[in-house]
């Protein structure tokens, strides 16, 4: 089942040649390393309902589906071309997953009826404007059940001159205005502003395009009115 929202908002599209998307991500981000660390941090269980917001071509959803934990899986992405690739990839691997078209800020509307226990987002926040980062994290917070967890893998604080220099490649592609807040280390602060507790940066992984950080936060507040 595919549910579609069609807000008139911009997003950073995938590379024009879609067949090159996965190899580029793998080569320039040390994908296997950070995805494995993210999976271990997420610690999926059969009782979990896990949503991947900004799921791209479904690589992490496929990894989750092959993990043996058998949670319910949902993917969200604004790019219909990318969702088509995700559908094909997940079908080829036999992974069952619901895919919806939507943006970060649509997470609450799309997900809260499904009661997600964990939400993951990877390599998305650095691509969107600061207002969308804030709106997206607020929507994710609203979508999670109380005690639910947010797990993020994305470019974070670039701590060394080498990492800052390497990250300029990402900035040239995705834009300096959207990416610089991540490089300045804003993600944990934005998570706390959105209402997440126990926010922590759990890992920093150097890559050829800058360091990718893993973050974790918990929704511990009472549910808000979602009407």
So what's the pLDDT on residue 222?
58
| pLDDT at residue number 30 | 83
Strand segments, DSSP code E, in 54-92 are 72-77
Q: Is residue 3 part of a domain?
A: no
Confidence band (pLDDT; 50, 70, 90) for 24?
A: low
User: Residue 200: which of 60, 41, 81 has the closest Cα?
Assistant: 41
Give every strand in the sheet of 118-122, ordered side by side.
Answer: 98-101, 72-77, 49-53, 118-122, 149-155, 210-218, 197-207
Mean pLDDT for 16-39 is 72
| 225 within domain boundaries | no
Q: Residues 101-149: pLDDT tens digits?
A: 999 999 999 999 999 999 999 999 999 999 999 999 999 999 999 999 9
Q: Provide the domain count of the chain.
A: 1
Q: What is the pLDDT of residues 66-83, one digit of tens each?
A: 999 899 999 999 999 999
Mean pLDDT of the chain: 89
Q: Is a pLDDT exceeding 90 seen at residue 16?
A: no
**Which three-class secondary structure state does DSSP give residue 183?**
helix
Token readout for 6 is: 């069609």
Say if 183 falls within a structural domain. yes
199 inside domain: yes
- pLDDT class of 27 with cuts at 50, 70, 90: low
Statement: residue 10 has pLDDT above 80: no
Q: Are 164 and 183 in contact (CB under 8 A)?
A: yes
Whole-angstrom distance, CA of residue 179 vs CA of residue 63: 27
Is residue 93, in this structure, part of any structural domain at all? Answer: yes
- Which secondary structure element, helix H or strand E, spans residue 43, and what is its range? none
Average pLDDT over residues 162-168: 97
Structural domain containing residue 171: 18-218
The answer as to whether 11 is a domain residue is no
In a domain, 10, yes or no: no
The Cβ-side half-sphere exposure at 82, using a 13 Å CA radius, reads 24
In a domain, 152, yes or no: yes
Domain harbouring 75, CATH code: 3.40.50.150
Which whole number is the average pLDDT over 23-32?
Answer: 69
């Amino acid at each position: 089942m595919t549910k579609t929202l069609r807000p008139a908002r911009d997003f950073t599209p995938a590379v024009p040649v879609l067949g090159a998307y996965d190899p580029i991500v793998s080569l320039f981000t040390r994908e296997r390393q950070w995805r494995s660390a993210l999976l271990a941090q997420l610690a999926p269980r059969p009782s979990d309902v896990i949503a991947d917001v900004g799921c791209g071509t479904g690589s992490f959803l496929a990894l989750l589906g092959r993990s043996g934990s058998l949670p319910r899986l949902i993917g969200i992405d604004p790019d219909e071309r990318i969702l088509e690739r995700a559908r094909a990839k997940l079908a080829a691997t036999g992974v069952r997953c619901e895919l919806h078209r939507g943006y970060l800020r649509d997470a609450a509307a799309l997900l809260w009826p499904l009661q997600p226990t964990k939400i993951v987002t990877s390599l998305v926040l650095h691509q969107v404007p600061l207002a969308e980062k804030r709106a997206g994290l607020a929507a994710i917070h609203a979508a999670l059940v109380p005690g639910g967890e947010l797990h993020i893998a994305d470019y974070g604080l670039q701590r060394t001159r080498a990492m800052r220099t390497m990250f300029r490649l990402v900035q040239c592609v995705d834009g300096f205005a959207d990416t610089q807040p991540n490089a300045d280390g804003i993600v944990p602060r934005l998570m706390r502003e959105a209402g997440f507790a126990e926010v922590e940066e759990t890992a920093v992984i150097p890559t050829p395009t800058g360091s990718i950080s893993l973050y974790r936060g918990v929704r511990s507040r009472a549910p808000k009115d979602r009407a």
